[in-house]
Chain A
Amino acid sequence: MKKGQTEIIGLVIVVILITLGMLFIAQFSLKERSEKKIFTRKGLAYSSMSAILRTTVAEGDCIGSYRPTMEEVLVDCAKYYSLDLSIDSLYQCQYPTQTNQRRHSCIFFKDAVTDLLGKTLGSWNKHYEFRTWIIPSPTASAEDTTNLFGPEGERGTIQEEGCPGERDVSGLQPIQAGNAGLLENEIYICD
């Protein structure tokens, strides 16, 4: 075999190996996020939100015989919201893990959601953000909205490390809060 032929065979082998290597790398880099994973996380976010809002408060947890749902407690929180929570809310409830003292519905709702999401999403190593804010009127701008569970001027959240990057959302769950305006709620879940 001539020298030139030998060198050509060598070159061909090198080209084949490089091509195989690049195909191998491309297979990993072009892999898409599983559609089922997106569906499950979105479904989990939606079911978490609907379960929280539908839940009935435990018997004896609120003053009076009526047992509101968490949605009603949240609406009550919106109606009687003030920065220092100085105005008494209609529902005065206590959450089991807190001190034996019935409190403003905003505090009760935040305690309940923090505990329930911590026992579920948190224990399953999922990060999440629960956001809720009031839009006082249809023409209100972003600055006019009031968050219920965080510092003034920011979208307040109940969260476990938050979801700054890739995440799935429950979708806005709007609730009419009478004179207070429109309540919008959403949960973000990320891994």
Chain B
Amino acid sequence: MKLFKKGQINITETVGVLFVFFIIILFGIIFYYNYQKIALKERQEELLGARAIDTTLKALFLPELICSNGDAEPKDNCMDLLKVRYITQTNFFKTDKKMQEYYFEIFSYSRIAIKKLYPQEEPEIVLYDREKIKMLDDGTVVPDWQRKEPTFFIITLRDETAGSVGAVQYSFGYLIVEVYA
């Protein structure tokens, strides 16, 4: 009888230890789950930021916008307003489905605009805008993005028609790139 009681005590002890052990494991799992949730969110933020920078760099060096000099190397951090006007007037990035897909491959869901500050401040010119949208059951189109990450970059805007004959005018402005998440 004594032996039997001792065995019971030992088993209870073991069960107790294992119970505590598994409780600690459970706390560890809950803690790790919460940490992973935050880490995933941070990682998504990082990727969104990286995408914003990639899109900005692509816009800055896009041949359709950059200040070119014939066969010479184009001017960096510079956009040609003649090209910008042509793109906005002809809706160049959305001319047809093929063009839309081509520029979507480059810029994805984002909004690209430029703003001139000096010599004359002018309203924002939107070059590309592809918003993430979804259609509801009743046919209404609504935005389908949770947030957008803006990136700003100061640039020179070249205008060959604004200065006096033979002179080119360079304006001070900035590029705005917003990516949708």
Residues of A near any B CB (own CB < 8 A): 1, 6, 9-10, 13, 17, 20, 24, 34, 36, 39-40, 43-44, 46-48, 50-52, 54-59, 61, 65, 67, 69, 112, 116, 119-121, 124
Smallest beta-carbon distance B10→chain A, Å: 6
Kindly list chain B residues whose C-beta atoms are within 8 Å of the C-beta of A44.
152-154
A67 touches B53 (CB 8 A): no
Stretch with Cβ within 8 A of A (4 or more), from B93-101, B102-110, B116-124, B128-136: B116-124
Q: When the two chains form the complex, which single residue of A10, A13, A50, A116 contacts B77, counting CB atoms closer than 8 Å?
A: A50
7 nearest interchain CB pairs?
A58-B119, A47-B77, A55-B172, A54-B170, A48-B154, A51-B156, A54-B156
* Interface residue SS majority, chain A: helix
Tally of A-B residue pairs with Cβ under 8 A? 83
Task: State whether A6 and B174 are in contact (beta carbons under 8 Å apart), knowing that A20-B28, A47-B153, A59-B119 are contacts in the complex.
Answer: no
- Which A residues touch B46, using CB under 8 A? 34
Known contacts A44-B153, A56-B170, A116-B117: A51-B77 contact under CB 8 Å = yes
In the complex formed, the residue of A with least CB distance to B172 is: A55
A148 to B155, alpha carbons, bound, how many Å?
25
In the bound complex, residues from chain B placing their C-beta under 8 Å from that of A6 are 13, 17
Q: Does B24 contact A (CB under 8 A)?
A: yes
Contact flag A55-B171 (CB < 8 Å), given A44-B154, A50-B156: yes
Contact of B170 among A13, A46, A69, A120 (CB under 8 A): A69
A112→B118 contact, CB < 8 A = yes
Min CB–CB distance A158 → chain B (angstroms): 15
> Which residues, 22 to 39 on B, are CB-close (under 8 Å) to A?
24, 28, 35
